[in-house]
Amino acid sequence: LRSCSPGRARRTNASRRACLIARFGNIYAEERLDAETLLRTYISDMEMVQRIIYIAAVESFHAAKMAYRQFKVRVRETLSLGHSGPESLEDTVLDYIVRHEDLYDVQASVNEVIRSMNINPKISFPPEIDFIVISTLIRELCRMAFSMQTLSPPLDIAFGIDGELFSETKYYRSFDSDFTAALVAYHVWPALMENDIVVVKGEAVTKR
């Protein structure tokens, strides 16, 4: 194990949080649109394209959170052998993870996301193509989601289901929505949450 710097995680929490919230917005504005353009060369149905990207985001957060928990357990087990303070073991573990996020096996998470997407009944892809074509988007989402778990409190995405009541506080309506419809037909982008409070609105399509 590499050396760690006590207290780093807590000292840098606010600045890391601000950077990660900005990154969430940038991925929405850049990598998401790049993935959308790429998928449109294979799939003519815009709704399917948007569903694929939304599910990629949800699965990326899920995979990154699982990887973070496993990574944290391994770090705690190793550091506990020689831990003597003055920081608590939990703080020391968090400091280590923040300093060495490059040890996160992001490719394993990308592979896990693609496996999950391949068996998701809500999305489909031409048989000659693989979801790996949007692996750049998935990789960036996994990296960001992993880093968000090191914050106190961590950032996460809202759980969304088709047919749920549209929430003005959680989502913007897509331009092609029926603005009089009360229910979400499908989600385009998840809302970013902190302790059940919306930090960044997501995007959803409402239709009757």
Q: Model confidence over 165-190: pLDDT tens digits?
A: 999 999 999 999 899 999 999 999 99
pLDDT range class, residue 129, cuts 50, 70, 90: confident
Q: Which helix (H) or strand (E) holds 24?
A: helix 13-29
Q: Which of 9-23, 40-54, 135-149, 189-203 has the lowest mean pLDDT?
A: 9-23
pLDDT band at 1 (very low <50, low <70, confident <90, very high): very low
Cα diameter, the chain: 61
Sign of the dihedral defined by the CA atoms of residues 32, 117, 160, 181, in that order: positive
Average pLDDT, the chain: 90
On the question of pLDDT at 95 being above 70, the answer is: yes
pTM given for the model: 0.90
Q: Measure the CA–CA gap between 151 and 156, rounded to whole angstroms.
A: 10
Answer for the pair 110, 138: CB distance below 8 angstroms, yes or no. Answer: yes
Residue 6: per-residue pLDDT: 47
Task: Tell me the two tokens of residue 59.
Answer: 């699965």
pLDDT at 130 over 90: no
Model confidence at 64, pLDDT cuts 50, 70, 90, reads: very high
Report d(CA 144, CA 107) in Å as an integer.
13
Amino acid found at 19:
C
Is residue 84 pLDDT above 70, yes or no? no
Q: Is the pLDDT of residue 91 over 80?
A: no
Contacts of 19 (CB under 8 A, 6+ apart): none
